Amino acid sequence: MRIRIINANTSAAMTDKMGVAALNVARPGTEIIAVNPASGPLTIESHFDETVAAVGVCEEIRAGEAAGTDAYVIACFGDPGLYAARELTHAPVIGIAEAAFHMASLIATRFSVVTTLGRTAIMAERLLHEYGMGIRCRKVRAAEIPVLALEHEADTAYRLIEAECLRARDEDGIGAIVLGCGGMADLAARLQYSLGLPVVEGVAAAVALAESLVTLKLQTSKFGDLAAPPAKPFTGEFARYSR
Ligand SMILES: NC(=O)NC1=NC(=O)NC1=O
């Protein structure tokens, strides 16, 4: 099977990191294609960033449809464009936040999330409730690092993330931790060893879920709000979407 990992930001280094994380867990015979939009925010740290990035995510879904894709992963912790992306394909589309929340809920009664900035922590709290997972999450914590620090100040970023994970482990009454950024895709094993409790990373979780859905022949439903968008004219730079 072929899975397209869509890094919603435009950091090629982060795309590569996510591709490696996906390959590390993918079954033999699963082809991983890691991509990012040509245009959009270098990192995603706000509602505005997510809104702009969602267009690029949908562009990558359209490219994946043309290339033949069995499942998609939206590798950004805000799951930007998730529902629009699901409208554009019959294939499963898995957001890394939704995937990580569900996986964590299967191995622990309660979990906490450790993400990058305080403002993205608020965004993650909204997602938890949107996905019906609010009751399972004790706390969404922020290491207070910009996403790019995961690339350019990796050692400092790791120490801050680890310290926040230790506080979550010792204070929140949890059984697992969810890493709240696709840019943390390479940190799960090291953190799990250091913390001694399960650390769920969204790219890996989403790949495993995507493979399961493909194996079960379960596709995105076209009954209701995930049916293809109604055909209509689009104007200006989006005229290419006219149908
Ligand atoms: N909460 C986050 O840091 N989300 C993210 N921003 C990015 O650029 N990628 C993410 O996963």
Paired with 178 in beta bridges are 113, 200
Which residues sit with their C-beta closer than 6 Å to ligand 1? Answer: 9, 43-45, 76-78, 115-116, 120, 147, 180-183
Q: Which atom of ligand 1 is nearest to the CA of 180?
A: 1
Those residues whose C-beta lies under 8 Å from the C-beta of residue 126, and which sit 6 or more positions away, are none
pLDDT at 196: 98
Average the pLDDT over 155-171 and give the result: 98
pLDDT digits (tens, 9 = 90+) for 223-240: 999 999 999 999 999 999
Which tokens is 210 given? 């995507």
The average confidence (pLDDT) of the chain is 98
Q: Ligand 1 atom 7: the closest Cα is on which residue?
A: 44
User: Ligand 1 center to residue 184 CA distance, Å?
Assistant: 9
Q: Give the pLDDT confidence score for residue 194 in this predicted structure.
A: 98
Q: Rounded CA gap, 46 and 33, in Å?
A: 26
211 CA distance to ligand 1 centroid (A)? 23
Q: For ligand 1, what atom is nearest to the CA of residue 77?
A: 11
Interface confidence: ipTM more than 0.95: yes
Read off the pLDDT of residues 23-75 as tens digits, 9 standing for 90 and up: 999 999 999 999 999 999 999 999 999 999 999 999 999 999 999 999 999 99
Task: Annotate 23-62 with b (16+ C-beta within 10 A) or e (fewer).
Answer: eebbeeebebbbbbbeebbebbbeeebbebbbbbbbbbbe
Which residues are bridge partners to 94 per DSSP? 73
